[in-house]
Structure 1
């Protein structure tokens, strides 16, 4: 291991051995975000080369983990959508299944797209500038891949299947999740719950991580009871609706959870770069997520609660 990497690990408060052996781990999270938020991908814009490159990257990672495609032999679910004067914009979701032979499935999702060079946003953002989107939402994709690695390691031991989805077109109106819930590749009434991760890479210890959807299932209060993660503070919000991909699942009567570390000065700006990621804290957030997922799996079914 290079000395510089070792120093980085020690500075983050963990040994090199710990970082290599644990899932989730901060080194892997940082590496994923470094790639997805690099200038090479030019902000992963929808209908831009970098966005397509990002989708292929996620599909490769799913394949390396041994996860199965669910759309025939393809990891992709292609679709088009309209936005304002822009018609038939192409995008795609990236999906993979961990089949544990169970009757019900847990969906874990994060959107991989960002603003790109802002050409589809009608001047709202500086056109031509690269918006790398490290926190929004390379951080969520890193989390998606880490949770996939964790549950692949436990394949066959869990009482639920896992469907991992990287959504396209989120920044342009939650398009990927809107399309998936209208054209599901597995029955929505067999979904235990959907966990969405959107901007989980800039942990603020004063705020903690917000977890939305607490009111979307009768069992969530019991699932959350006594759950703690060292170094990670969290608070809950009842709302199942929201400005990210869990919203469309909630509107289709699926219980949801939504992880979000909050806004910051770099939100939707070209300055949302990988060197600002709090990778060790994100690993802790994912450990918290694993606790909640595992506790939710002790219930055979979660009972959806609609908006009151």
Structure 2
């Protein structure tokens, strides 16, 4: 934590505490981000649709506000790429990258995908074409989490022993395209990545289920780290798997330890009804607090030992 000078006087204590509290995960900020990204204005943030391009620009703007350096190609925040999907060829998309340079040997990657189904034109009739799929939980919630963690580590902490690379992935809904491209064209060498934390659908907390934390088996040190992870408000359980249907999978396949935060499926999954008014922002803030505990615990180790999982 960033240290603030307190010279004994009680009057100086309260402002320092309040200043620090400002950068903890905040439900109001989370809700505000999701309200914008999952609004009809962005029309579902479809890959190669205007709403998806606007969403990427929004993330870039937030990275700039937070003081993150451009982590993309040619000194900008974008990593552009194209991919094929079934009959659709040369579909353009982009990752958005913000870098916190702590002049460290290794880097922690924190990611979430910003795309959703849009109006479903690229899904070959699998979803109702023409209807807006706003994707509040999937994955505006993850982008809100990404920005909260970026704020926390840029504003609330002293210089950490690791760099941070924050990535908003494009093309995830069409086959993890953004993360696949990144690991094959990495902005930093993958052997210099401490671990990757991925957030996908963290906005619909079910207290009877709890939040699932995948990747528990991908590093020998995770069990030791998790001994100190706790919450009075959020129930969680761990899953050893490194593989899965979200962007952490791409990193696991390159022998990078991963952590995956996910609140589980629901009836609005990939439907036009996944709207912002159903977000559980207060609970998401609690989930992000757990994420911070995991990250801080992992920074106590100079390196993590990758392990394959069954």
State whether residues 98 and 155 of structure 1, in contact with CA within 8 Å, keep that contact through their aligned partners in structure 2.
Answer: no
TM-score by length of 2: 0.92
Correspondence for 1:11: none
Distance in 2, Cα, partners of 1:45 & 1:55: 11
Correspondence for 1:85: 87
Correspondence for 1:250: 252
State whether residues 106 and 162 of structure 1, in contact with CA within 8 Å, keep that contact through their aligned partners in structure 2.
Answer: yes
Correspondence for 1:99: 101
Distance in 1, Cα, partners of 2:209 & 2:56: 32
Give structure 1 stretches of 5+ with no counterpart: 1-16
1:174 has 2:176 as partner: yes
Give structure 2 stretches of 5+ with no counterpart: 1-17
Q: Could you tell me how far 1:156 is from its partner in structure 2?
A: 4.6
1:239 has 2:241 as partner: yes
State whether residues 117 and 270 of structure 2, in contact with CA within 8 Å, keep that contact through their aligned partners in structure 1.
Answer: yes
Q: 2:116 aligns with which of 107, 111, 114?
A: 114
Distance in 2, Cα, partners of 1:226 & 1:154: 21
| Partner deviation per Cα, 1:15-62 (whole Å, 9 max, x = no partner) | xx99x8352100000000000000000000000000000000000000
Distance in 2, Cα, partners of 1:177 & 1:134: 21
Q: Could you tell me how far 1:245 is from its partner in structure 2?
A: 0.1
1:34 has 2:32 as partner: no
Distance in 1, Cα, partners of 2:228 & 2:115: 35
Correspondence for 1:13: none
Q: Could you tell me how far 1:287 is from its partner in structure 2?
A: 0.5
TM-score by length of 1: 0.93
Q: Could you tell me how far 1:155 is from its partner in structure 2?
A: 5.2
Correspondence for 1:134: 136
Distance in 2, Cα, partners of 1:105 & 1:72: 20
Q: Could you tell me how far 1:230 is from its partner in structure 2?
A: 1.6
State whether residues 135 and 201 of structure 1, in contact with CA within 8 Å, keep that contact through their aligned partners in structure 2.
Answer: yes
More deviation, 175-184/154-163: 154-163
Distance in 2, Cα, partners of 1:89 & 1:161: 32
Distance in 1, Cα, partners of 2:237 & 2:266: 18
State whether residues 100 and 155 of structure 1, in contact with CA within 8 Å, keep that contact through their aligned partners in structure 2.
Answer: no
Q: 2:288 aligns with which of 256, 271, 286?
A: 286
Structure 1 residues 158-237: aligned runs within 5 Å: 158-237=160-239
Q: Could you tell me how far 1:72 is from its partner in structure 2?
A: 2.9
Correspondence for 1:10: none
Q: Could you tell me how far 1:90 is from its partner in structure 2?
A: 0.2
Distance in 1, Cα, partners of 2:307 & 2:23: 35
1:306 has 2:308 as partner: yes
Q: SS where residue 123 of structure 2 aligns? A: coil
Correspondence for 2:3: none
| Partner deviation per Cα, 1:96-122 (whole Å, 9 max, x = no partner) | 100001000000000000000000000
Distance in 2, Cα, partners of 1:251 & 1:37: 31
State whether residues 223 and 296 of structure 1, in contact with CA within 8 Å, keep that contact through their aligned partners in structure 2.
Answer: yes
1:67 has 2:68 as partner: yes
Distance in 2, Cα, partners of 1:252 & 1:51: 28
State whether residues 100 and 156 of structure 1, in contact with CA within 8 Å, keep that contact through their aligned partners in structure 2.
Answer: no
